[in-house]
Amino acid sequence: MLKFVLLILISVSLNAKSCAVLLYHHFSDEMPKSTSISPKLFEQHLQYLQVNEFKVLPLKTLLSKLKDNDLPDRCVVLTTDDAYQSIYTNAYPLLKKYQMPMAVFVATQAIDKNYKAMMSWNQMREIQGEYVKFYNHTAAHSHLLDLNKAQVKTQIEQAQNSLYQALGTTDKVLAYPYGESNLSILKQVEELDYIAFGQQSGVVSKASDLQNLPRFPMAANFAKMKSFQLKVNTLPMPLVKKRINPIIDKNPPMLNLTFEISQSKPQQDGFNCFANGGVDINWKDDKNVEIVAKKPLMHRRNKYNCTMPSQSKEKYYWHSVQWINPSIAE
């Protein structure tokens, strides 16, 4: 009987209702590698998704199915931040070719100021439709942590109004500039009735925070095919849902995770986390684990990435937290 129950749990976990959301910026061989993917490699991403029969969903469909806990297997969503010209020139033709949708998050002031690196409103109107939709990335792309509550609201609502006036956008979906937020901003965004995305890696599932949904960055080495294939096949770490304060108040910060079910000794041994300088992992019991970096985190934005093998050799569980030190300026 116990063996039968374990088999059911394994089957459920390997078919977890989840979706890998990918984050792109530039589609170019000429822009900074840290935020770019070549058009050739991006096409390889789309080819892989097509050949392997992934369900590439529009963002709006993802959010609807997430609320209903009805995400399909092998689910992927494509997103990009900042509305650069290379979306219009390089990404959009490929999206049409492979008939795959993408969500673009727009910082609207750059468009109003006609920055050459960005698409124009006319270009957005031209490509908006079946394969491209546009959403809120605030007005000025400011560090929201540097603003007061009224200023945060203004940044969000000004951008939403511009998107509505120019493109007819009504869906209240936000991507935080730089992926930065804190508990106060998360609560404020929830009160404003927005769903929001960060820039920490991981897969979206019922356990995800609707005001800080994860996305896998796709640029530089992270966009290479081996890394891409690993991430689109990733499963959500089976954790109890919990809102985490991403602000570093003690450096290095302590991350406490609670698993939904007890983890065996082999599972605990397979659980691993990564940060600059390494981490210490301390299992308090068979469900609760503490993770802390061995050294203070030195950048404004830092990540703990945690993985654990699943019963399938091809898939890993994944969970990530982006820690932010607002005292470090950019």
pLDDT tens track for 181-233: 999 999 999 999 999 999 999 999 999 999 999 999 999 999 999 999 999 99
Residue pLDDT, tens place only, 21-63: 999 999 999 888 889 999 999 999 999 999 999 999 999 999 9
| Type of residue at 172 | K
Question: Has residue 327 got a pLDDT over 80?
Answer: yes
What's the pTM? 0.94
Buried b (16+ CB within 10 A) or exposed e, 265-294: eebeeebebebeeebeeeeeeeeebebbbe
How far apart CA 254 and CA 251 sit, in angstroms, is: 8
Q: Check residue 34 and give its pLDDT.
A: 86
Using omega within 30 degrees of 0 as the cis cutoff, is the peptide bond preceding 252 cis?
Answer: yes
pLDDT confidence bin for 314, thresholds 50/70/90: confident
**Protein fold of 8-235:** TIM Barrel (3.20.20)
